Structure 1
């Protein structure tokens, strides 16, 4: 998933329960945008970024939670802002959902 300006791609790791932020260099080279990946719930699977590029949302397939991360517009680093438990529909912390770009789910085998 790449933010709208095309500078910062993000990759979720379902085995490490994390999201890693990268930056794209002038020659197209990728470097980590932060020294360590951001921790998530169990098995982050689907990422979405709001159209303004201010927030990244991660749906966790094993913990049934939706997390929101603020995107630093200069460095691409992520800062956790809130989490929602989708099974109980109760916020673990306050959450705000802005308009999200529609993302097509991947087909499972």
Structure 2
């Protein structure tokens, strides 16, 4: 059970490094909600007044660009290493005790 937990923690750190974890999902969702609000503001008047966007307005429509977490990768890598060292310092004495 401890080893499977270790694997899960390591996978979680790797998902964070790839910006593919739950926190990344929430960042993505928040960023798309902001874009939706900006698009609503840009199109609201033209939808209800029947006016059309001119080329300049069209060129300045908001565009989506995902922003990754500002958390440095080195901190996550250190966390992963720290977890492994902690788990091995717990597991090794237990294994030694069961085999003696």
> Does TM, scored on the shorter chain, surpass 0.5?
no
Give 1 or 2: higher helix fraction: 2
| Coarse TM-score class (shorter-chain normalised) | under 0.3
Larger Rg: 2
Tell me: higher relative CO, structure 1 or 2? Use CA pairs within 8 A at least 6 residues apart.
Answer: 2
